Structure 1
Amino acid sequence: MSPDPHRVAVLVYDGVKLLDVAGPADVFGEANLLGADYRIALVSTTGADVTSSVGMRVAVDGSAAAQPDPGTFLVPGGDVYPRTAVTRDLAEAAGDLAARAGRVASVCSGAFILGATGLLDGRRATTHWKITAELAARHPKARVEPDAIYVRDGTVYTSAGVTAGIDLALALVEEDHGPEVSREVARSLVVYLQRPGGQSQFSAPLQGPPPRSPALRRIVDLVMADPVGDHSLPELAGRLNVSTRHLTRLFREELGTTPARYVESIRFDIAKSLLDQGYNATQAAAMAGFPSYESLRRVFSRELSLTPAGYQRRFATTRREETDRQ
């Protein structure tokens, strides 16, 4: 462990999201229990306390200008951006801290604040998938990656929404103190260790609309438990003790799709997750229950306009990219 403290400056503002502040802060705090020495300071543009997005007051330690040069400068997200333009005083405070920091990071819509400083120009970046198009439109010189958990470009890190800030903070702890400390922090916080930065923000089975009826929820469980099994319409109807006609009507009325297409969508999500984990396309197709690689490729082409291999290249993990550069 380094004998010198690592200062972390977190720039907060009216409308900031509490979890974007507390999640990374807890990661750094847990690392301190394992021998790290992160010194966290919450700062605002003027040094005045701010009000979070849920109305709770956030006490700050001082103004951004008065903060010593930080090892890490972190900008959390908030609902106020990108709904409105970033104010000049907030952009100037962020630009000053970024210029003095060893590395810079944002969580969710905090990327818009970094973008307002010009820091994202010519860099790869990400944010919550719902607002990546807006980030790209507002900052056309940035190379926005719409589906990554977090992205590192040099000393600038940007991450997706809310819990992705925890993934990013774990990556920063690993960078500073190694994988063992990062793993222990994750275990202590009971969080997933460790979603690689380039992994898709969507993890199976999150994408499909969640069924309301118990019968349809049971089908999700059946397919997830055994994706390679027989999940044809007659087989599913028999497992649920309903007629094929009744089951088809349930799917049409509740989900607007057919049983076969819904099973395929679950298998598609499973295949994407397997590709995220490093399995090749042929392995992912077989393990997700597709009859062949070609059938998986057709679904990828229809849903994403990408081949499975193209998807995997696009969302290759940040860690793998960094290894390739060494």
Structure 2
Amino acid sequence: MGGIVPPASRRGRRPLVVVAFDGVQLLDVTGPVEVFTTAGRYGADYDVRVVSPSGAGVLTSSGLEIGVHGPPSGLPHRIGTLLVPGRSDWRSAVADTDLVELVARLALRAERVASVCAGAFVLAEAGLLDGRRAATHWELARQLAAAYPQVRVEADPVFVRDGHLITSAGVTAGIDLSLALVEEDWGADVARSVARQLVVFMARPGGQAQFSARLTPGRPRHAAVRRVMDHVTADPAADHTLGSLADTGGVSTRHLERLFRGEVGMTPGQYVESVRVEAAQWLLEAGTSTVEEVAQQAGFGSSESLRRVFQHTLGVSPTLYRARFRSTDGSRHIAAGT
């Protein structure tokens, strides 16, 4: 998209409105604002406005108070982009009728509507996500799906676009979303310049799965399923065939598959793989074994099998995963690249 002149509807200075409110996550607000204002240094022309329902400053989740540009009444009738950040206590956010009603009204005036992290709950409460695909923080995906069954929640993508509505994953994913919008509006060259200035990925490799805990199913009710799960997690590298797992549970293979689908939401084989992925992640983060050794210890047999599963499940190779999560010591990464 580099060098392409954006359409007039995007090039004008229609406000890009960020709705702040008490309890909002600070980075949900400041991350996107920093992207859009930095884009102005490279030729973009955003009129960024932070507003709150009352027009007063708000107390963020970190305890830091931030000011706003004013009340929503001071906005022009037409809005370019409406961005709704989130609050970890999303139930308090959706219970705030002034906030939800404000978002619903402003959405009618906006060319596009976006949310960051738990901001998707506010959009859903306002009825804006009915029948649409949506993303949120990986820890909240099941809660969003349960609270708003009419929303088609996707747990892994960093952000999801459905028509003029764009929803993103947790916290820093608001930066990914904002960079994508800058690219859409002003081209790849501008977005790339902003990414370089802020020292962030132009496009984050992989999805949310690489950050989430893989073993999220609740404790099952059936004793056979509990026995099998405990058996697998105790020794991920063992030869866990369907038949051996059924013997461990004391049920038939067919019944075990039915129980797992009903209580865990996956097949026994999928559960075994998820445990092995979790084990491999832990071993890679520890950084004391080679990738081949990790593959053997986690039950994948070979580094090639481990690589295929990681690419399919997490969107990254084992080597890249280890480099990304093993340490925050910058000197180690610099040395590895020399």
Which TM-score tier does this pair reach, normalised by the shorter chain? 0.5 to 0.7
Instruction: Give the gaps of 5 or more residues in structure 2.
Output: 215-277, 320-338
Please say if 1:55 is aligned against 2:63. Answer: yes
Please say if 1:202 is aligned against 2:272. Answer: no
Offset, 1:231 = 5.8
Instruction: Give the gaps of 5 or more residues in structure 1.
Output: 224-228, 234-258, 279-283, 290-326
Q: Residues 17 and 79 of structure 2 are in contact (CA less than 8 Å); yes or no, is this contact kept in structure 1? A: yes
Q: Could you say if the C-alpha distance between residues 90 and 84 of structure 1 is closer, same or farther in structure 2, counting changes exceeding 3 Å?
A: closer
Q: Indicate the residue corresponding to 2:117 in structure 1.
A: 108
Work out the CA distance in 2 between the residues paired with 1:232 and 1:137. Answer: 36
User: One-letter code of the match for 1:182?
Assistant: A
Alignment of 1:148-227 (within 5 A): 148-195=157-204, 199-203=206-210, 208=278, 216-219=286-289, 222-223=290-291
Offset, 1:137 = 1.4
User: One-letter code of the match for 1:134?
Assistant: Q
For the residue of structure 2 that corresponds to 1:8, the secondary structure is strand
User: One-letter code of the match for 2:65?
Assistant: R
Work out the CA distance in 1 between the residues paired with 2:313 and 2:180. Answer: 17
Aligned length: 246
Q: Residues 283 and 294 of structure 2 are in contact (CA less than 8 Å); yes or no, is this contact kept in structure 1? A: no
For the residue of structure 2 that corresponds to 1:161, the secondary structure is coil
Work out the CA distance in 2 between the residues paired with 1:17 and 1:268. Answer: 39
Work out the CA distance in 1 between the residues paired with 2:22 and 2:173. Answer: 21
Q: Residues 284 and 294 of structure 2 are in contact (CA less than 8 Å); yes or no, is this contact kept in structure 1? A: no
Q: Indicate the residue corresponding to 1:4 in structure 2.
A: 12
Work out the CA distance in 1 between the residues paired with 2:41 and 2:194. Answer: 9
User: One-letter code of the match for 1:189?
Assistant: L
Q: Indicate the residue corresponding to 1:274 in structure 2.
A: 311
Please say if 1:91 is aligned against 2:100. Answer: yes
User: One-letter code of the match for 2:288?
Assistant: R
For the residue of structure 2 that corresponds to 1:133, the secondary structure is helix
User: One-letter code of the match for 2:160?
Assistant: V
Q: Indicate the residue corresponding to 2:24 in structure 1.
A: 16
For the residue of structure 1 that corresponds to 2:189, the secondary structure is helix
Q: Residues 204 and 273 of structure 1 are in contact (CA less than 8 Å); yes or no, is this contact kept in structure 2? A: no
Work out the CA distance in 1 between the residues paired with 2:48 and 2:304. Answer: 43
User: One-letter code of the match for 1:218?
Assistant: T
Please say if 1:33 is aligned against 2:70. Answer: no
Q: Could you say if the C-alpha distance between residues 272 and 203 of structure 1 is closer, same or farther in structure 2, counting changes exceeding 3 Å?
A: farther
Work out the CA distance in 2 between the residues paired with 1:46 and 1:204. Answer: 36
Moved over 4 A (4+): 204-207, 209-214, 229-233, 263-270, 275-278
Q: Residues 204 and 269 of structure 1 are in contact (CA less than 8 Å); yes or no, is this contact kept in structure 2? A: no
The RMSD of aligned alpha carbons is 3.2
Q: Percent same amino acid at aligned positions?
A: 43
Q: Residues 29 and 38 of structure 1 are in contact (CA less than 8 Å); yes or no, is this contact kept in structure 2? A: yes
Q: Could you say if the C-alpha distance between residues 265 and 70 of structure 1 is closer, same or farther in structure 2, counting changes exceeding 3 Å?
A: farther
User: One-letter code of the match for 1:35?
Assistant: G
Quick one: which of 43, 51, 60 aligns to 2:51? Answer: 43
Q: Residues 122 and 142 of structure 1 are in contact (CA less than 8 Å); yes or no, is this contact kept in structure 2? A: yes
